[in-house]
Amino acid sequence: MVRAAMLLVVDVGNTNISFGVFEGTKLLEHVRCESARSRTADEFAVLVRAMLVLRGVDPDRIDAAIIASVVPTLTDTMVELVRRAFKREAMVVGPGIKTGMAILYENPREVGADRIVNAVAAFEWARSGVIVVDFGTATTFDCVTPKGEYLGGVITPGVQISADALFSRAARLHRVELALPPRVVGRNPVHSMQSGIVYGYAGLVDGLSARLKRELGYPCRVIATGGLARLIAPQTEAIEEVDDNLTLTGLRLIFELNEPGAKTAADA
């Protein structure tokens, strides 16, 4: 019996690094750690192998790996991590990698790898015009045309960044849990801040989504991902779907497109 290949996908963000393991098209496990710039490749190798073993994944079954990174100082560290922990050479999303998606940004090299990866997965989901809302360190909106072209988007301060700024700059406002308040009208400082953060960002999503759709001039579906998507998305009218693993799926799709013998597609 021939076992399915196992693929390690690595999404390096400014706050966290996500590691997913696919067996074929099935995501077996997903683990995360902090994007610690000071960690060495050896430290990451020990950590990632241990996390996978803890989840019941045999690290020695990893056949290949692909990395998307928005932290340049960690990109080479991740490549070395894959070499040391899995004895494989990782594919890195960047110039020269086929994505199957034309990039219409003024300078394609200035688009974050995670945004392209998300766009690829979102278009696979929608098969139409689509807007991706990613609640990461920054909250980003990425627009894909009905032809599957990456057009551009919007970058706003992330939910946590905005909350941290509020807590640090207002002497009498203290840090609160990012959670849904019982009502929009807060009756104490905690609920008032939670309302401003959660419903404020929900309003931002709805407002920007409406403006983007008007400017684009064609129907667009809206999908969300990122750490706080499941908190904010239900309070919006625009977001249709939340996919926590959108970036990991996009990495798998791009890897498959670049495997030997894959069909020719547009370069990034």
Residue 147 has pLDDT above 90, yes or no: yes
Tokens standing for 5?
Answer: 């290949």
What digits encode the pLDDT tens for the residues 32-46?
Answer: 999 999 999 999 999
Average pLDDT of the residues in 124-131: 97
Specify whether the CB–CB gap between 100 and 117 falls below 8 A. Answer: no
What digits encode the pLDDT tens for the residues 97-122?
Answer: 999 999 999 999 999 999 999 999 99
What digits encode the pLDDT tens for the residues 179-216?
Answer: 999 999 999 999 999 999 999 999 999 999 999 999 99
Average pLDDT of the residues in 68-88: 96
Domains of the chain, earliest start first: 6-92 (3.30.420.40), 108-250 (3.30.420.40)
Residues with a catalytic annotation lie at: 114
Alpha-carbon distances of 130 from 87, 148, 203, 213, 233, rounded to whole Å: 38, 9, 19, 10, 16
Q: Which residue bears the tokens 């990425």?
A: 142
The length of the chain is 268
Residue 18: closest CA among 56, 77, 67, 81: 67
Residue 249 has pLDDT above 80, yes or no: yes
Dump the DSSP string for 92-119. Answer: E-STT-B-SS-B-SSSGGGS-HHHHHHH
